[in-house]
Structure 1
Amino acid sequence: MYNDPRYQLLETTESPETGSTGYRYEHLKTGAQVLWLKNDDDNKAFGVGFRTPPTDSTGVAHIVEHSVLSGSRKFKGREPFMEMYKSSMQTFLNAMTFSDMTIYPISSKNDQDFLNLADVYLDAVFFPAIYDKPEIFMQEGWHYELFREEDPITYKGVVYNEMRGAYGNPERQVMQQMSQTMHPDGTYSHESGGFPYHVPELTEENFQAFHQRYYHPSNAFIYLYGDVPAEDIFNLIDEEYLSQFEKTEPNSEVVPGTIPSAPIKAEHYYNAGSGAKPSEESYFGYSVILGETTDLYDAFMQPLVSDVLISSESSPLKQVLLEKKFGQAILPAGSDGIFEEFGFVVKGADEARFDEFIEVTEATIRQMAEDGVDRGALLAALNRTEMSLRESGGSLKGIYFFIRSVGAHRYGVNPMDALNFNQTFDRIRADIENGGFEKYLKERILDNPAKVMTLHLPQAGQFQVLDDELADKLKLYKDSLTREEIRQLIADNERLLKYQQTEDSPEDKATIPKLDLNDIQREVAEIPSEKQILDNSTLLVQEYPSMGIRYLHLAFDLDFVTTEELPYLAYLGRLLGIVDTKQRGYSELNNEIYQVSSGFRFAPSVLRPVDGSNYALKMMVTTSALAGQSKRMFDILAEVLLETTFNDADRIKDVLQKMRSDMEMGFESSGHSVAANRASSYFSPTAKINEQLGGIDLFDHLQELLNDYDNRQAELMRIITSLYERIFTSKGLIAS
């Protein structure tokens, strides 16, 4: 515990779930809330978060998040965030905009680095340079771009361009349309990230007013985790920052808005390419409000319901929808706001079957509620949910706990209650044994009026129409300007370009904190490891604090794999654990896996040995389990590695179609990474292999395979079976 007259200790709570003692403080002068999860973890974490509910879709919260990291009172460079990212010893450094809050988390194992990073972030959020440098708003938000008098004016800006890219993804459009149908008014009717065609409506005045209103200590939640230098960090927070403010009323409460009083059926259109057919490329949406995040029971039931109904490979509803060929993939849909929602989307649907989809969905859920849900499936889902909470982000658990705690705090929930989940899970387990889950399905889904069912039809050129209207609007704007105003606009753009291209001065660079050699521990931390040679295999055993969870990593040799077989390695990794074995079908197998473990993951990977020698291609198999479940976990894993069968062509096709859908979504959300990996593949042998295992090369191969699946399925199963039989042997195996 840390005692300081500037901070009032509100509560001390033991937290076995996080391995911490939680100390909750209030800063007396400003009312800022401070939570310290004290434990001996040397990967210390810090975070500051604010409630930032939007009142429009200009993306102001998102733009402010970007902008405050572009220089501040003490740290004068244009991008202190990027400088710290490159030069610090951070283990995590980021900022995130949610539907109603914005957070800034960091972590580091080095004490001085931890203090430096916290200092940079606190100065950024409380004293940003946005009031002195109009170029920041122009760069990060939007601006009129013009460099020659004869050219048309266009819009440019980091967030503006980012959100244009984000809305190029049909799933993003569909999810937002579902949300707006469920939430026609209030906070969640708006796009906090910014709808690209509304971003230019944001004025610099409103941008600054948003920061002034919400980025105040009275609206702040400050978080500390691990073995932090307590006196130093508490002094820094008060002396450099909080003490310079007075307490205010932030008026930052979320406006939940109107929720449906009766089920709603709605039809929407999403932007699609030319030739998109409503009979093949529509989407169906189904969403229902289960409760509010303020009720911890509902907060933990939401992932359980989603898992049982549509996320798991054994989910009855998912199986029925796929078996009846309603679409190519089933995608979960939810929210990160005050409402706990169960929802999903069917991708690649036929518009004519929308009513049938609703009937089958509700009939399947009703049958589950009346006949009872398979106990194996329920226990598997409960174990998977609990394991994800206990593992808590692995080495970044401090960041994970921050997101959960600030997420609870924003709605007035005690963050320690959200972190300490054992009691709530005990209640859920007891309810499951007494039919509580089936009752929950009936009351919260079937009989719930707060429900929307949406049909999303492709409309070619929808955004092109908006772009044409935008071009006309910009032309009218340019026509309204005098020649002198046009020249001033060009001068503004040239000033922005100069700002972007001018290197920081030596004086500004010197303001960015750097570590001294004396701040860096010279000794490399070692994890005690025991090495055993067993016939053709190597076993490594490490003891490390892990909250009672045991972790297993297996690396199987792939030296014999040919270039032509590389795509099939990726397919094999995707199929293992979710197709039949000789002992059981994939649905029962899925339940068995998740009753005893966190799941099995199979990934062909290119590894480079620490001695710098040539790379090695390995099939990596990873899993984890509570100590008491370890033996059963090994038994089920052995079954998957030695007894999987690849003779269900329809099931394999379903899995590969979902793989294609996931890759499409990944390409649309991370196009820059895809392009970089593709470029690297032309000069890097390892990048070339990765391209064939997960890049555009693999996608093209998968697309060709699925387009001619009936003719190629026999060859596919032959190659996959051959690889499977050659890979999973003890020769060259490394187990850790």
Structure 2
Amino acid sequence: MEQKVKGYTLLNTEYIKEIDSNVHLYEHDCTKAKILYMQSEDPHKTFGIAFRTPPHDSTGVAHIIEHSVLCGSRKFPLKDPFIELSKGSLNTYLNAMTYPDKTIYPISSQNDADFHNLMDVYLDAVFFPNIYKNDYILMQEGWRYHLENENDPLEYKGVVYNEMKGAFSSPEEVGFRKIKEALFPDTTYHNESGGAPEAIVDLTYEDFLAFHKKYYHPSNSYIGLYGDMNIEEVLTFIDEEYLSHFEYQEVDSKVAMQKPFDTPKVVDTYYSVAEDRPNQLYVSANWVVGETVDRELMVGLSILEYLLLETPASPLKKALIKAGIGEDVFGAFQTHLKQPIFSVMAKNVGEENKERFYEVIDTTLHTLVKEGIPKSLLQGALQVKEFELREGDFKGYSKGLLYYIGTMKSWIYDEDPNIYLRYEDLIDSLQAKKDTGYFEELIEKYLLNNSHHVKMMIHPKVGLDAAIEEKVQKKLEAIKASWTPEQIKACVEKTRAFNQMQKEPDSLEALLSIPLLKKEELDKESMFPRYETRQKEGTSYIITPIFTNQIAYINYFINLEGVPDKSLPYLGMLVGMLSKLDTASYDYEDLSMAIDQHLGGIEFHIQSMHDVKNPAAYKKMFVVKIKALIDELKDQVKLVHTIMNETLFEDRNRIREIIKEMKSMMEMSLSSEGHKIAYSMLLSSFSPAEAFDETTKGLSFYQTVREIDENWDAKQDEVIENLKEAYQFFMNRKRYTIGLTVDEERVTECMDCTYDALSKLEEEEIVEHKIPFTSHSMKMGLIYPGNVNYVAMGYNFKKLGFDYHGGLVLLKSILSMDYLWNEVRVKNGAYGCFADFRKSGNMFFVSYRDPNVEKTLDIYRQIPEYVASLELSERELLQYLIGTISSMDFPYTASTEGYTAQVYALVGTTKEDIQSIRDDIFNVDNEILRSFAEPIKKVLEQDQYCVFGNTVSIPQNEALFEETLKI
């Protein structure tokens, strides 16, 4: 198909079978802007624009500009077009991201008009932002001095400033930042593109504008388009509205190469802990390995990282764990840099073992080179990578979004953008090389004989975060002391003017600049997954017979009704243990390799499933999710049977290793999951289903695992017996329901095969076991070393006599994107905040990376007054309706449609139930919205809250809490 367009030169066209697209590469004649169009019949369209943005310091200027350009522009002069789009767009993706050397602005939508609107707003934002006329944008999104009264202490505030304080709250995040600094002393990668909090406050308005002026030019841009569209119309629009306003400009934005080191470096750094405990040292080995534009090398090294470190059979991880070096070992392969980084890290290492860490790595790698990587291990790793590439399951996101971001790994460095779209020849090449010593040569060249290498130790330091905060306060005190009375007064006036600016609503004219769809363009019919239910000899099957490209997705739902309380945390532990222990048919290493060879993946989960018609009732489920090519069906089912019915609990050392690994993984997620911890702990105080989740996978579960680990010698006999007892609940065929998502002609085959395995199990009636649950008041402060807080408040409105109404889904959008966004984020500097109203009756409000505690709780308490006074215009109601429907109509993939169907079937959710909620949403008016003020008021009057906070904020607000707990 001819794809020439006036104003552009078509440089190349190639059909790429892996993505079933004709890929056209254009150059804009005037500005030399680069455009890649992936022409496909897919209606799920993507647009993105990227700029090469290498920072020259750690002020976070690239990151702050990413936030700031979305705060108003030439055509769209609102204070926050991004949030206005979020309120009223049918987008399936709307975001921006800052990398160490580039900034990307991607959007996706399935609606043609919406896609055009989103593209227009984003292009106007990046090329014509209001930052040149409004220095308040830098003050809000980056940093500012905050002083409301002359006698108040001076403060730093700003969205990115606070975001990055939270971003470096965990030792892993501190470590990876310092690793990058150490490996690249002479290039842009030495700098922190997101911004180091101590450096962000050095960014001047002049440098901020200069960075945008230099890098945000069409001559430095990379535009991506994907999907079914009239490309001539789209490119003509981009040219006439945007690119034609610029002339070509030489932009010096190339990313320099770091010269390799002559000898490896040793670097020490520190992270904050609440109290001194032994063995909290992190030790890592890190290498710069090749260039990301070498796709075969990158896939080869990712396979190598997987087989060395990611499975129970991984020889390097196994050797380090067996040597007693650390509680957990993990790898990282960072390919978002021009020169990627290959890392091995051990957590909680004794000081006496830190040198041994490097010795074991060296010995193990030399042995693998000399003796060869076990063939079954290598073949399994290759199979995993091939399945991942072929499945192409992007979890509902536009394929084009992932393809476009993938092209940046080569295109941004002036290489062929199609390198990361092809993979067939690459897989064939690596398969052909697996017996030639290729992977052993990778170990030798890039790990053993590579002097561009940093050994880094990340030491714990008690109270480091408090010391940093004290240093910041003293710096602010000194700054204020150095000011004249006139300067102090000017700062107060600037702060007040800034606060007033934030309070002022956008003009109607500005609001109308954001285009909206018409109500009649929205689909009034709810999405509902396709499925049917069948029985086979007493076993229930929930089947979604759809095209799956010859992949069988099989989910086993195991009913935990009747399981005694004491077994619940042990079932949670089995989530992390199954497939990692010996079985009657395999030792755990051989089992791991068999899984890689025959399956595309296996996951274990434990979860409650609310009965939305009865808030006191819920299902307790253990879920096994597997996927494999249909030709591997028998092996797929055999492996599941082996894991679920033949696992052995005799190897105590192995069980202890897994417990340490589980504890480590949960600890690594604490700092990034603080909001979830806060609201989950809160909900568990009044919701039996949430209490079950808390016991089996929440913070309470983590504390159980940590206690077992710390007292292993005394507890091991009891733990082993409890694990065996919990495992026995999988032996009853009556507990199983099977979910199948597979091509229709293979359904019977899948049913027969899974039933044959289940038929070997005993049948025993399930005895209902009512676990007594008593609600309790919660005003809890959870103390964790870090620099920010996560503040959650809520209760269950059904317990207070109120019913669920679909309009609450729309109110969630209003509160999250208006009241909470403005009060918690914009005015008070938290990075995020949102509301949730669940069909179970659970209601909560939570903030993310928040500098405040009491102030945020007070903001929540004022929500009923805000809701009671709502008087939205027809346009505003339509805007929120569009955004709410967008969040509900996320496109299914084969696996997500099947799983959603299975959950709906299990809890009895019907299409009529879903449609009723949608009807409520379409019929919402101001009166209905205002009626929600009363249940919210009653919920907040319960005064229940949980704060996951830092070692400074919780003690400072001690009077707020009935209980505090150090984590």
Deviations along 1:86-140, one digit per CA (max 9) or x if unpaired, are 3322222222111111112222222222222222222222222222222211111
- Is 1:351 the counterpart of 2:355 in the alignment? no
1:554 aligned residue (556, 564, 569) = 556
Q: Distance in 2 between matches of 1:611 and 1:547?
A: 37
Amino acid at match of 1:251: D
Cα drift, residue 510 of structure 1: 2.5
The corresponding residue for 1:16 is 17
Cα drift, residue 372 of structure 1: 0.8
1:267-666 to 2 correspondence within 5 Å? 267-273=267-273, 275-276=275-276, 280-335=279-334, 336-392=336-392, 393-396=394-397, 397-522=399-524, 529-608=531-610, 615-666=618-669
| 2:584/2:646 contact within 8 Å kept | yes
1:721 aligned residue (716, 721, 724) = 724
- Is 1:734 the counterpart of 2:733 in the alignment? no
Deviations along 1:30-53, one digit per CA (max 9) or x if unpaired, are 222222223233332222211111
Q: Distance in 2 between matches of 1:673 and 1:136?
A: 30
1:26-41 to 2 correspondence within 5 Å? 26-41=27-42
| 1:111/1:229 contact within 8 Å kept | no
2:705 aligned residue (702, 707, 710) = 702
Deviations along 1:360-398, one digit per CA (max 9) or x if unpaired, are 110110001100111111111112222223334243233
1:663-682 to 2 correspondence within 5 Å? 663-682=666-685
The corresponding residue for 1:117 is 118
Q: Distance in 2 between matches of 1:213 and 1:691?
A: 50
Root-mean-square deviation (Å): 2.4
| 2:260/2:451 contact within 8 Å kept | no
Deviations along 1:326-365, one digit per CA (max 9) or x if unpaired, are 1011132343211133211111012232222211110110
**In structure 2, do the counterparts of structure 1 residues 305 and 76 end up closer, same or farther at CA, with 3 Å as the change threshold?**
same
| 1:351/1:455 contact within 8 Å kept | no
Amino acid at match of 1:282: L
**In structure 2, do the counterparts of structure 1 residues 250 and 372 end up closer, same or farther at CA, with 3 Å as the change threshold?**
same
| 2:302/2:333 contact within 8 Å kept | no
Q: Distance in 1 between matches of 2:611 and 2:235?
A: 42
Deviations along 1:173-225, one digit per CA (max 9) or x if unpaired, are 12222222221121111111111111111111111111121122221112222
Q: Distance in 1 between matches of 2:697 and 2:87?
A: 27
| 1:175/1:333 contact within 8 Å kept | no
| 1:106/1:399 contact within 8 Å kept | yes
Q: Distance in 2 between matches of 1:592 and 1:240?
A: 56
Q: Distance in 2 between matches of 1:236 and 1:683?
A: 55
Q: Distance in 2 between matches of 1:579 and 1:405?
A: 40
Report the secondary structure of 2:321's partner residue. Answer: helix
Q: Distance in 2 between matches of 1:530 and 1:369?
A: 53
Q: Distance in 2 between matches of 1:608 and 1:108?
A: 31
**In structure 2, do the counterparts of structure 1 residues 360 and 147 end up closer, same or farther at CA, with 3 Å as the change threshold?**
same
Deviations along 1:585-619, one digit per CA (max 9) or x if unpaired, are 11111111111222200111233579899643322
| 1:290/1:298 contact within 8 Å kept | no
Cα drift, residue 404 of structure 1: 0.7
Amino acid at match of 1:726: F
Amino acid at match of 2:107: I
Cα drift, residue 508 of structure 1: 2.9
Report the secondary structure of 2:271's partner residue. Answer: strand
**In structure 2, do the counterparts of structure 1 residues 230 and 700 end up closer, same or farther at CA, with 3 Å as the change threshold?**
same
Q: Distance in 1 between matches of 2:229 and 2:731?
A: 45
**In structure 2, do the counterparts of structure 1 residues 105 and 606 end up closer, same or farther at CA, with 3 Å as the change threshold?**
farther
Q: Distance in 2 between matches of 1:223 and 1:683?
A: 48
The corresponding residue for 1:260 is 261
Quick check: 182-191 or 477-486, which moved more? Answer: 477-486
Q: What is the TM-score when the length of structure 2 is the normalising length?
A: 0.72
| 1:302/1:341 contact within 8 Å kept | no
* Percent identity of paired positions between Structure 1 and Structure 2: 35
Cα drift, residue 728 of structure 1: 5.6
Report the secondary structure of 2:534's partner residue. Answer: strand
Report the secondary structure of 2:601's partner residue. Answer: coil
The corresponding residue for 1:246 is 247
Q: Distance in 1 between matches of 2:594 and 2:210?
A: 54
Q: Distance in 1 between matches of 2:236 and 2:545?
A: 36
Gaps of 5+ in 1: none
Q: What is the TM-score when the length of structure 1 is the normalising length?
A: 0.94
Report the secondary structure of 2:434's partner residue. Answer: helix
Q: Distance in 2 between matches of 1:644 and 1:79?
A: 55
**In structure 2, do the counterparts of structure 1 residues 229 and 723 end up closer, same or farther at CA, with 3 Å as the change threshold?**
farther
Gaps of 5+ in 2: 741-967
Cα drift, residue 527 of structure 1: 6.4
Q: Distance in 2 between matches of 1:631 and 1:472?
A: 67
- Is 1:144 the counterpart of 2:148 in the alignment? no
Q: Distance in 1 between matches of 2:27 and 2:218?
A: 11
**In structure 2, do the counterparts of structure 1 residues 129 and 361 end up closer, same or farther at CA, with 3 Å as the change threshold?**
same
What is the aligned length? 734
| 1:327/1:347 contact within 8 Å kept | yes
Report the secondary structure of 2:396's partner residue. Answer: helix
Amino acid at match of 2:112: D
Amino acid at match of 1:101: K
Amino acid at match of 1:383: Q
